[in-house]
Amino acid sequence: MSDEKLLELKKFFEADKFVGLAGIDILETGDDYAVVGAEIGGEHLNAGGAVQGGMLYTAADFAFAVLTNMLHPVTVTQTATITYIRAAYTSRITATAKEIVRSGHNCVVEVTVRDDAGNIVCTGSFNGFINSKK
């Protein structure tokens, strides 16, 4: 993806205030993937000291949103499942999204969230609705 397109994508997502408050940034995009990430602070931790599940889900959902809105704007999440694999005691997380199928107004994206050591902490499957009229 060109630097110009990446800047355009980042500008579009400035309107996503929740993601901004969570501190999640777009790190990288390619023809068929998107990577987002966040530095983890105390506000992201659960009572047990691990990254809160909602933060992990938000990163996964945002990776989905970046990828699908890059490939076919405007796309929204219809359904999603997330599987938490291990607790994340980490200073950084990244979420990588890859589209596995598109059919008509639907797409399916797999997302992998990793800690700063590269361990998979959760995976998600997202089904999106592509509103091609916008």
pLDDT averaged per 10 residues in sequence order, the chain, 134 residues: 80 92 94 96 97 98 96 92 98 98 96 98 97 67
Q: How many domains, in total, are found in the chain?
A: 1
- pTM, rounded to two decimals: 0.94
Q: How far does Cα 45 stand from its chain's mean position?
A: 18
Residue 14 to residue 91: CA distance in whole angstroms: 24
Q: What is the CATH number of the domain that holds 34?
A: 3.10.129.10
As given in the structure block, the two tokens for residue 60 are: 């996964």
Q: 17, 20, 28: which is closest to 70 by C-alpha?
A: 28
Q: 120, 121, 93, 96: which is closest to 110 by C-alpha?
A: 96
Domain that holds residue 32: 3-130
